[in-house]
Amino acid sequence: DGGITQSPKYLFRKEGQNVTLSCEQNLNHDAMYWYRQDPGQGLRLIYYSQIVNDFQKGDIAEGYSVSREKKESFPLTVTSAQKNPTAFYLCASRARATSGANVLTFGAGSRLTVL
Amino acid sequence: AQSVTQPDIHITVSEGASLELRCNYSYGATPYLFWYVQSPGQGLQLLLKYFSGDTLVQGIKGFEAEFKRSQSSFNLRKPSVHWSDAAEYFCAVAPMEYGNKLVFGAGTILRVKS
């Protein structure tokens, strides 16, 4: 079955450490997204990528970095510069980036806790 | 900038009762409209979407939503709630001319009393 796989499901990090969250999709979608979810705040866009080797900052990109070297992969690195990284992170993809009519498909999420 | 408002943070209904979750958006033109559902610790699943045409749209799990242009609303309804409907529900909008910036509401947590 096609879908999005996020790993790890749970991750604990000490302050000052970088961590990388994995996102892999086998849907052959062009566009991929990273959202951060905090209680009562909905989903906020961190980064998105419309095509391989290209990505753009979303609304809360500070302290995060991404890469898009392969169509199916869009890893997110939470750096030590992110002041409050404890959150639930969701990866999503869409068939074509330039049409709002495409539906976002989501992974199951990764919960990052900073100790 | 466009925004999405879900006025109710929590809603509790009895099993078998009807449900309406409210969603209002602020945008200059009619956007694409979506409702997603999220079970605890899981990703989001699409319930239904509105692009154009009939303003009453049917979705999965017996949900429906009605688009009202005059009120900039896209409320989600279900005639009879089941205990398995307990989850968090998100309304989202995307502008028609440029679809990348899908904007989500803050979510409504639905609790179902047995």
Q: Cβ separation of B90 and A43 shorter than 8 Å?
A: yes
Q: Give A67-105 pLDDT, tens digit per residue.
A: 999 999 999 999 988 889 999 999 999 987 666 667 889
Which band of pLDDT confidence, cut at 50, 70 and 90, is reported for residue A33? very high
Q: Which residues of B touch A35 (CB under 8 A)?
A: 104
State the pLDDT confidence band at B99, using cuts at 50, 70 and 90. Answer: low
Position B94 scores a pLDDT of 84
A29 touches B at CB < 8 Å: no
Q: A48: which strand partners? A: A33, A56
Q: Where are the beta strands (DSSP E) in A38-97?
A: 43-51, 54-57, 64-66, 76-78, 87-94
Find the mean pLDDT for residues B84-111.
86
How many Cβ atoms are within 10 Å of A64's Cβ, its own excluded? 21
Three-state helix/strand/coil letters over A40-56: CCCEEEEEEEEECCEEE
Does the pLDDT at position A107 exceed 90? yes
In this complex, do B101 and A45 lie within 8 Å of one another by their Cβ atoms? yes
Confidence of residue B97 (pLDDT cuts 50, 70, 90): low
Spatial CB neighbours of A41, under 8 Å, sequence gap ≥ 6: B106
Assess whether the previous peptide bond of A8 is cis (omega < 30° from 0): yes
